[in-house]
């Protein structure tokens, strides 16, 4: 399953720095590489990691990139969760059959609420997600044809 690991775009008035998209602006931009996505991206041969904030990528540009993939793993944060939910909607608009997993701090502490936030989220992984998303990509739609699943 062709997989995109995504550190999603930042949102207006947030500069996207420090990986978790802290709610402040700075005089100089600094970005932490999306290291938590590198391991599963390295394990899957047909995958790509896209770090959208340093590219200043918009959700529209990100959706166009995601159109070429079957599965998107979105690393979300508490502060960026609602923006990421809107991005999931945009991804489903451009490719309805795409599967979307949310991983990261927000879904770890609020798994049920996160999953209920949008029908566009096919599943979340509330624990360490590396192996779970790789296994999903390898076994594809056989595991969760209906979506709406909490793993971990």
- CATH number for 142: 3.40.50.2300
Confidence of residue 10 (pLDDT cuts 50, 70, 90): confident
CA distance 58 to 9: 6
> Between 25 and 7, where is the model more confident?
7
Task: List phi, psi (to 5°) of 32.
Answer: -90, 135
Query: Residue 144's pLDDT is what?
Result: 53
pLDDT at 25 over 80: no
Query: Residue 102's pLDDT is what?
Result: 96
Q: Is residue 128 part of a domain?
A: yes
Q: Is residue 16 part of a domain?
A: yes
When divided into structural domains, the chain yields a total of 1
CA distance 22 to 80: 9
Q: Which domain holds residue 86?
A: 3-21+31-151
Q: Is residue 147 part of a domain?
A: yes
Q: Is residue 8 part of a domain?
A: yes
Q: Is residue 126 part of a domain?
A: yes
Digit-coded pLDDT (tens) for 37-95: 999 999 998 899 999 888 889 999 999 999 999 999 999 988 889 999 999 999 999 99
Query: Residue 18's pLDDT is what?
Result: 47
Digit-coded pLDDT (tens) for 90-108: 999 999 999 999 999 999 9
Mean pLDDT of 21-26: 50
Query: Residue 29's pLDDT is what?
Result: 60
Q: What is the average pLDDT value for the chain, to the nearest integer?
A: 84
152 exposed, middle or buried (CB, 10 Å; 0-12, 13-18, 19+)?
middle
| Beta-bridge mates of residue 75 | 103
pLDDT at 28 over 90: no
CB-CB contact of 59 with 34 (8 Å): no
Question: Is pTM, for the whole model, over 0.85?
Answer: no
Share of the chain above pLDDT 70, in %: 78
Q: Is residue 26 part of a domain?
A: no
């Amino acid at each position: 399953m062709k997989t995109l690991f995504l550190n999603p775009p930042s949102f207006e008035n947030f500069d996207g720095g420090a990986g978790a998209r802290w709610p402040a602006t700075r005089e100089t931009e600094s970005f932490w590489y999306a290291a938590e996505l590198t391991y599963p991206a390295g394990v899957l041969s047909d995958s790509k990691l896209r770090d959208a904030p340093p590219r200043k990528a918009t959700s529209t540009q990100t959706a166009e990139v995601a159109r070429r993939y079957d599965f998107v793993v979105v690393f979300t944060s508490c502060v960026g969760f609602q923006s990421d939910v809107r991005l999931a909607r945009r991804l489903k608009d451009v490719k309805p059959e795409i599967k979307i997993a949310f991983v990261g701090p927000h879904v770890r502490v609020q798994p049920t609420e996160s999953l209920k936030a949008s029908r566009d989220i096919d599943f979340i992984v509330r624990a360490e997600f590396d192996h779970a998303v790789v296994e999903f990509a390898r076994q594809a739609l056989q595991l969760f044809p209906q979506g709406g699943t909490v793993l971990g």
